[in-house]
């Protein structure tokens, strides 16, 4: 990357990076044939029918079922296992009627659940690169991801008891905030794919210098900032106000595994794994596994700091 907003290095060095999918359609439907030439030049895909995920990656998995290609089969399997796992977590959250923050956690885990089938459709080589369906579904995925981090931050704010959890004063602002983030990100992503406007959806440069400041800010900077603020607020509440050291350490482990570990694997191990497997797998399946593992850890951290307050000691502790 040479400056803020550049996707050139990311799209060429990070296999299966979903944001890159939204650029392909605009490149292919540009006035010149440069975009098509750039996509078709990747050594692992000679035509759009077999094109790898993203914009001309140096290494990438191809489409499922084309020339015997299994696509992102590893990520597809992990996602397929993650869906029932998250459904099970949602069921267990819903059963804990008296738990603090239950309704907010239902919203959070429901949004994460929505990201999984969208990942399966957009990040495993099922759909043709540059297609309208892939552009729209990727835009919905990106909107859902950003909304997830917004609601995650909202959960941390609610945990400070600035508003009472489980009430309309908590659920409505949380839902509206997530909906705004979803709509804004999805719209800009669709704008980028179909070039509705030059202001938000326009891209500049070819693949080595592909740039879109709005997409860079919303899909990379905003989620990272929200995750860090969530962690700071959570540790302040758990360790500072509740004086619970072990749960604070557990939340730290979740943050390291889910927010840091999964992204490091995705960004740093993806290309080496892809090259070592000759384009059969990349780091996406490991990232998905660690993210789902982080959600499981988040659930158990939450039960660890709410059970004693409500299940064991009942409401008398607060009187």
Question: What φ, ψ does residue 245 adopt, rounded to 5°?
Answer: -80, -45
Task: Categorize the per-residue pLDDT at 38 as very low, low, confident or very high, splitting at 50, 70 and 90.
Answer: very low
Structural domain boundaries in the chain: 8-318
Q: Which residues contact 230 (CB under 8 A, 6 or more apart)?
A: 149, 152, 153, 155, 156
Task: Categorize the per-residue pLDDT at 147 as very low, low, confident or very high, splitting at 50, 70 and 90.
Answer: very high
The rounded distance, in Å, linking the Cα atoms of 218 and 22 is: 14
Highest-pLDDT range among 101-115, 123-137, 191-205, 260-274: 101-115
What pLDDT, on a 0 to 100 scale, did the predictor assign at position 281? Answer: 87
What pLDDT, on a 0 to 100 scale, did the predictor assign at position 34? Answer: 45
> 199-239: per-residue pLDDT in tens?
554 555 455 567 888 999 999 999 999 999 999 999 999 98
Token pair 């885990």 in the structure block, residue? 109
What pLDDT, on a 0 to 100 scale, did the predictor assign at position 200? Answer: 55
When the pLDDT of each residue in the chain is averaged and rounded to a whole number, the result is: 82
Q: Do 302 and 105 form a contact (C-beta atoms < 8 A)?
A: yes
The rounded distance, in Å, linking the Cα atoms of 163 and 189 is: 33
Query: What's domain 8-318's superfamily in CATH?
Result: Rhodopsin 7-helix transmembrane proteins (1.20.1070.10)
**First CA to last CA distance, the chain:** 56
- Secondary structure tally for the chain: helices H, strands E: 13, 0
What pLDDT, on a 0 to 100 scale, did the predictor assign at position 310? Answer: 42
The rounded distance, in Å, linking the Cα atoms of 306 and 299 is: 11
What pLDDT, on a 0 to 100 scale, did the predictor assign at position 165? Answer: 80
């Amino acid at each position: 990357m040479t400056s803020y907003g550049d996707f050139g290095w990311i799209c060429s060095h990070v296999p299966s990076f979903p944001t890159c999918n939204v650029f392909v359609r605009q490149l292919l439907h540009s006035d010149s044939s440069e975009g098509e030439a750039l996509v078709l030049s990747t050594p692992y895909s000679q035509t759009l029918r077999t094109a790898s995920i993203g914009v001309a990656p140096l290494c990438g998995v191809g489409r499922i079922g084309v020339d015997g290609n299994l696509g992102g089969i590893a990520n597809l399997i992990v996602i397929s296992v993650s869906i029932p796992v998250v459904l099970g977590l949602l069921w267990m959250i819903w059963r804990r009627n008296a738990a603090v923050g239950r309704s907010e956690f239902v919203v959070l885990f429901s949004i994460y659940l929505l990201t999984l089938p969208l990942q399966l459709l957009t990040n495993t080589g099922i759909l043709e690169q540059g297609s309208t369906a892939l552009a729209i579904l990727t835009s919905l995925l990106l909107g859902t991801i950003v909304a997830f981090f917004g609601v995650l931050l909202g959960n941390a704010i609610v945990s400070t008891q600035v508003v009472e959890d489980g009430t309309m004063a908590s659920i409505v602002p949380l839902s509206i905030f997530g909906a705004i983030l979803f709509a804004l990100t999805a719209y800009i992503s669709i704008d980028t794919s179909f070039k509705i406007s030059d202001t938000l959806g326009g891209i500049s440069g070819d693949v080595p210098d592909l740039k879109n400041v709005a997409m860079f800010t919303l899909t990379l900077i905003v989620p990272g900032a929200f995750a860090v603020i969530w962690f700071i607020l959570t540790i302040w509440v758990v360790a500072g106000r509740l004086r619970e050291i072990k749960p604070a350490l557990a939340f730290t482990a979740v943050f390291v595994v889910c927010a840091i570990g999964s992204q490091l694997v995705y960004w740093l191990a993806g290309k080496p794994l892809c090259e070592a497997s000759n384009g059969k797998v990349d780091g996406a399946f490991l990232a998905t596994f660690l993210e789902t593992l982080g959600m499981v850890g988040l659930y158990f951290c939450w039960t660890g700091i709410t059970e004693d307050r409500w299940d064991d000691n009942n409401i008398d502790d607060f009187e």
